[in-house]
Structure 1
Amino acid sequence: MTIPGHVPVAEKQMMPKRGISMDEVLGEFGEPDERYGPVGEPPITEWVYGSFRVYFEHHLVLHTIDLNTIVMPE
C-alpha cells in the first residue's frame, strides 16, 4: 500500500537535525547549493541542498524540509 507523502524509513535521506550549528551542517553536508538571508528578527537563514532545505534561527538548525516528501495540492 502506498500512502501519498509517506516515504518508508529505509528510503529516507539523512538531513540535519534540529539544534545543530551551521558549522556542523557544513562539516557533514558541505557547502549548500544556495544561501538566503538572514532576514527578520530573530534572523532566519535558508540553505538549499539538492533535495532538502535547512532553516536556521541565528546559527542553529530550526527546521529541515525534505522536498521529496512534500505533497502539493492539485
Structure 2
Amino acid sequence: MGLAALNLSHSAQAETVKVPVGQQQAASHIAKPGKGMDMAAVKSQFGDPIKESPAKGTPPITRWEYEQFSVFFESDIVIHSVLKFQRSDR
C-alpha cells in the first residue's frame, strides 16, 4: 500500500511554467482587428489570413490565423482577436 502511494505521489508532480509578464506588454503595440469588424474589413486592413478554419457550432464561430494573431468571428463579425505568444529566447 505504501509503495502504491509513493508511486502515485511521484506521478502527480507537475512542471511550473513561468510567463514573463513584462514581455507580454512589449507585444501590445501590434495592431489587430477590433470587435465588431466584419470579415471584409479585416481582409481589407490585414490582408488574407494564413489559415482559415471552417465555421463550427451554433452560432457559427470561425477562426482566421495571421502571423502574429488569431481572429475569432461569430458569423462574419469579430468577437475576439488574440496575440500569439512570441518566444524571446529563440
CA RMSD of aligned residues (A): 2.0
Structure 1 residue 65 corresponds to structure 2 residue 82: yes
Paired residues for 1:1-74 under 5 Å:
3-4=21-22, 6-8=24-26, 12-68=29-85
Secondary structure at the aligned position of 1:7 is classed as helix
- Could you state the TM-score of these two structures normalised by the residue count of structure 1? 0.80
Unaligned runs of 5+ in 1: 70-74
Secondary structure at the aligned position of 1:20 is classed as coil
Quote the Cα distance in structure 1 between the aligned partners of 2:82 and 2:64: 11
> Structure 2 counterpart of 1:41, which letter?
T
> Which structure carries more helix by proportion?
2
What is the Cα deviation at residue 15 of structure 1?
0.3
- Could you state the TM-score of these two structures normalised by the residue count of structure 2? 0.66
CA displacement 1:25-59 (0-9 Å, x = unmatched):
00000100000010100000000000100000000
More relative contact order, 1 or 2 (CA 8 Å, 6+ apart): 1
Unaligned runs of 5+ in 2: 1-19
> Structure 1 counterpart of 2:24, which letter?
H
Aligned length: 67
